[in-house]
Structures are given as C-alpha cells and as structure tokens.
Amino acid sequence: MGLGQAWRGAPPAIRYWTLPAIVTAFSLLLECAADAGRLALRFDRAGISGGQFWRLLTGHFVHLGWGHLVLNVLGLILVWSICGRAFSARGWCLVLLLVLVGIDAGLWFLDPGLEWYVGLSGLLHGMLMAGILALLLKGSRDLLLLGLLVAAKVVWEQLIGPLPGSEGLAGAAVVIDAHLYGALAGIAAAFLIRADRIAPI
C-alpha cells in the first residue's frame, strides 16, 4: 500500500489534522537545531542576497525559542479548529504557498530595513483570513465577526503597534508587517482558488 492510499484510508480525523501535524513536526525538527539552526534558516536579508534562498521557506518555521514555538503551534491548532474545513488538502497547500510568497515578497520589497524574521505568525494570519473568507463565500456567516476582528487587529497594529503583551509573549519585537502581508495574501488566495477552481472548497 502506497502512502497516498494509506492516507486516503486513514480515519477522517487523522486526515483532517495531517497538514497542521506536518507543519508542527517540521517546526519542532528545526527548533531542535537550536541557535545554530535558527541563524542558518531564518529569513535573513543578507543571506538571501547571497543566494541562500531556502531561507524564504524555512524562515517561517524556525522560532525564537521553545516558548515562541509553543505559542505559534497553539495558534495553528486554533486556526485549524476554526477553519480547517474551508479547503481541501490540495487547496490548503496552495493557500500556504501563496501566503508564504506574499509574506516573503512584502518583507523583501516593502520592508528593506528588516534584516531578519522568524515564526509562523504571518502564515497563521494568512491561513485564518483565507479560511474565514472561503467559508463566508460558501454562505457561512458565523465567522463574519471573527474576520472583522482579525482585520481590526491588523489595522490596529499598523496604526498603533503590536497588541499589548504580544512582544512579551514572543520574547522579541513583533514584525507586524508580516501579519499584514499574510492577511492580504490569504484574502487573495481565497479569491484565486475560488475563481480559478484550482481546488475544491
């Protein structure tokens, strides 16, 4: 039996949680590399300029430490519990790809002063906005308030700064622009997937 057949034959609950489990496992693996791995894998402008393009991917999955990682994994579980049903597995993979590209492009071209970045928070904002919008477009109105609250949070961060206490929880300065780019990319991803029928939602 191949991996694809095994996955399709797995209980629905296991298949439902496969993607967040993979993201979590990848992040845990990278965190085991400690400071050396963090320095080698983070989104780093100088490194990327020197041809280390893997950082455009891995930078989103390394963290400042175990506390930062646990905080983001809890956020991932919450996001998935809310809107994991919004897309098929293939659709979610496309959302992740589009949001990653959107954040990287935004940080690279619009934040030239940013030297480095780590963490899942930008990706989580993108996933949440994509999932909420996809469910709203399918006729579900129960997440409208949450979508407005997330949008208000992003606007607050742009106008006033990080939410009180967020930097203390993260253990460093919060890169609020990653949240903005992630949210905008998530909105675009939801419309693109729906409009082009790239994947069922």
How far is the C-alpha of 185 from the C-alpha of 97, rounded, in Å? Answer: 10
Do the domain assignments include residue 7?
A: no
Residue 73, in any domain of the structure: yes
Non-local (6+) Cβ contacts of 32 within 8 A are none
- Across the range 175-194, mean pLDDT stands at 95
In a domain, 168, yes or no: yes
Q: Is 65 left (phi over 0), alpha (psi -120 to 50) or beta?
A: left
The boundaries of the domain holding residue 154 are: 12-196
Q: Quick check: 196 pLDDT over 50?
A: no
Residue pLDDT, tens place only, 9-67: 667 777 899 999 999 999 999 999 999 999 999 999 999 999 999 999 999 999 999 99
The 10s digit of each residue's pLDDT in 82-105 is 999 999 999 999 999 999 999 999
34: left (phi over 0), alpha (psi -120 to 50) or beta: left
Residue 25: which CATH number?
A: 1.20.1540.10
53-70 residue pLDDT tens: 999 999 999 999 999 999
- Tell me what the mean pLDDT of segment 147-167 comes to: 93
Is the pLDDT at 171 greater than 80? The verdict is: no
138, part of any domain: yes
Neighbours of 140 (CB within 10 A): 14
For residue 1, tell me if it sits in a domain: no
Positive or negative, the CA dihedral 54, 57, 60, 63 is negative
Residue 200 confidence (pLDDT):
40
Let me know if residue 29 belongs to a domain.
yes
In this structure, is residue 63 part of a structural domain? yes
Q: Is residue 169 part of a domain?
A: yes
- Overall average pLDDT of the 146-157 stretch: 96
- Average pLDDT of every residue of the chain: 91
Number of structural domains found in the chain: 1
Separation CA 12–CA 84 (nearest Å): 13
CA distance 42 to 61: 8
pTM, to two decimals = 0.92
